[in-house]
Amino acid sequence: MANTKLEGLVAAPVTAFDPDGTVNPDLIALQAAALHANGVIAAFVNGTTGEGFSLTVEERKAIAERWVKTAPADLKVIVHVAHTSAVATQELASHAANIGAWAVAEMGPIFFKPADVGSLVASVAKTAASAGGLPYFYYHMPSMSGIDLPMIEFLRAAESDVPNLAGIKYTYEDLADYSLCSRYKGGKYDILFGRDEMLLCSLVLGGRGVVGSTYNIMAPLYTQLIDAFDSGDLDRARELQYLSVKVIRCLAGTGCFISALKEVMKMIGLGVGSVRSPLAPISQECVAKLKSDLMELGFFEVCSRLPLT
């Protein structure tokens, strides 16, 4: 398998819905163009931010197909394929390979959970084998999956059974384990850090690839943060990370982070509809307060911009 290491911002796109709650794939081309124009290098589709587990298998296939078809040539598409059914997971992995996705990723299994690392490896090996040789990333997010196993042990156990293992989407605060994974066998695997509000921590530990939901709305801020770190301006990097934390706290404080994220996308010119049940839209009063709070923070000075048309 070719070197799959990613350096830069990997956005986790939202899924656009029409007012009647159906998926609107026609907005994907604009979403992809906006990410690309703002310096994002890849899109992680049908994941948590994309409400992947609230979509049908056919919806997820259609979304993945449209992303692969419309994304700019140098915007890589990683398709999240996990499902509560192992058969459906493998079907989605095979589909991602057939449509020309760049890689697949999997969180889970999330309902009947593996009891130990060996059980987890046995499960994901079947998904990875269904992906037609595409790079495979395990999606480590204990807060959502309920699977809290040491990822360094996962790497040790998986490398012989998952030949197309590319790395881990590491969305967790265990920086010690993250560091061990990043340095395993001289950095053999790509450990993509997935907590936007802790991006600077990952850079300090040697990380270069990061995945996040707020890269949809403020990719320029994170690019500036990385540039500041690389140039040795830690004070500037810290200030930008602090601003990121405050923006994320504003979104989370609404009661529905993804709904708030979609409202902010609308504020910057990319309306993508609301969220699908069981998530609920935030009230218009909440939207107004969110906008006011973001203006006070100076968010709109560092937010993503739509590409010129």
Active site residues: 139, 169
Contacts of 167 (CB under 8 A, 6+ apart): 4, 5, 135, 137, 138, 189, 190, 191, 192
Give the pair of three-digit tokens for residue 135: 């790079």
Closest CA to 204 of 193, 214, 213, 215: 193
Q: Where are the beta strands (DSSP E) in 107-202?
A: 136-140, 165-170, 190-193
Planar angle of CA 196, 198, 202, nearest 5 degrees: 105
Q: Say if CB 127 and CB 93 are below 8 A apart.
A: yes
- What angle in degrees, to the nearest 10, is found between the helix axes of 257-267 and 234-252? 110
